[in-house]
Structure 1
Amino acid sequence: MSINLESLSTKELSELISKANLRKKVLAKRKPANQVKAAVAKFLKSTGWTFDELYGRAGAPKAAAPAAEKQPRKTTKGRSLGKVAPKYRNPANAKETWTGRGKQPRWLAAETAKGRKLDEFLIK
């Protein structure tokens, strides 16, 4: 974060200095990080836990959830369903196909609007 001190008024500078002094006091009251880490490690050792077990670091074994508790996904947002073979083909243009997923392509919507059945476009 950079602050352009040249653009600040006297009042703004005074507020900034007072906020900085408050932050400095808060930081001065804190114990050094290595002391806190040592105290946490000592406490965890006395309880039989490790930091990795409690907070899940990479490589730490994770507790497997029972299969009965897992809920099936209700949405496919954020994951791909994979490739699917096309089910429908445009007779006028063999390159135009549709898998049956998602919104109907324009050519198929136009043909079904004319009264044709979807089954007529199935790839055999």
Structure 2
Amino acid sequence: MAVDIKNLNQNQLNELIAKAQARQNELRKEKVSKVREKINALLKAEGVTLDDVFGNRAPKARRAGATGTALAAKYRNPANPEQTWSGRGKRPNWFNDALKAGKKEKDLLA
């Protein structure tokens, strides 16, 4: 089926794109279903389970801070104790300013 997209207006083109994406999703679901059936048939034929093959894998532990939770403050601004820094990432301006003013990192520890 050839569609001359040059003759389509914006609404027609958007509708065609939406239908094409929906069809793409249908084809993907069909493919996944067929692969799942093949895997289940193979597992049944071999007399094993998915856990036998791959084990009961627990998800890997995440590093601290990788989940978006804040890390404990390592440094605190003496001029404004509400401003803290964990020591990771870009140094905050108040930290750089304190170092330029003659403070040492150990002076700023929380």
Is TM more than 0.5 here? no
The structure in which a higher percent of residues are helix is 2
Name the TM-score class by shorter chain: 0.3 to 0.5
TM-score normalised over the length of structure 1:
0.40
- TM-score, with length taken from structure 2: 0.44
CA radius of gyration, larger in: 1
